[in-house]
Structure 1
Amino acid sequence: MSKAMSKAKGFKKSKSGTYLSIATTAFGAVSVAKQARRARSENDVLRLIDAAVSAAAIVTGLAILYRELKRLGDDDVLLG
């Protein structure tokens, strides 16, 4: 594994990387909200279901990222 790949994996598990993941996931929520709004206006049940499932995935992803952020914060307290 190259040094750059190792650094990238370390960033992903850092507080900054977790915040970036939260922001990216939240940005996806905007797209899902637009999809749901469009599906409601067009009375498209399948697209509305798709938007609901996507929203559930986003909420779950944000919860996992929040838990990871808390874990990283707890580690910082123990080290300091």
Structure 2
Amino acid sequence: MSKAMSKAKGFKKSKQGTYLSMATTAFGAVSVAKQVKRARAENDTLRLVDAAVTAVTIATGLAILYRELKRLGDDDVLFG
């Protein structure tokens, strides 16, 4: 494995990588909000349910990432 690949894999498990993952996951909330608005305007219950399930998925993903961030604590060796 190259040094660059090793460093990239390490970034994913760093605080900065976790923050980046949280930001990209939270960005999905924007599309969910648009989906909810469109579903309400069209009275589309199925789309509204889909948006709700997606919102729960985003919330769960953020909770998992937050837990990982807490686990990293101060022992972030890549950028610490």
Same fold (TM over 0.5): yes
How many aligned positions are there?
Answer: 76
Q: Is the aligned partner of 1:39 residue 2:45?
A: no
- TM-score normalised according to structure 2 size: 0.87
For residue 45 of structure 2, what is the amino acid of its counterpart? V
Aligned to 2:62: 62
Aligned to 2:4: 4
Distance in structure 1 (CA, Å) of the matches to 2:50 and 2:14: 32
Distance in structure 2 (CA, Å) of the matches to 1:70 and 1:63: 11
For residue 37 of structure 1, what is the amino acid of its counterpart? K
Query: Between the two proteins, what is the percent identity of the paired residues?
Result: 86
> What secondary structure is seen at the aligned counterpart in 2 of 1:43?
coil
Distance in structure 1 (CA, Å) of the matches to 2:72 and 2:44: 42
Higher relative contact order, chain-length normalized (CA < 8 Å, sep 6+): 2
Root mean square deviation, CA, Å: 1.2
Aligned to 2:51: 51
Q: Which runs of 4+ in 1 moved over 4 A?
A: none
Q: What runs of 5+ residues in structure 2 fail to find an aligned partner?
A: none
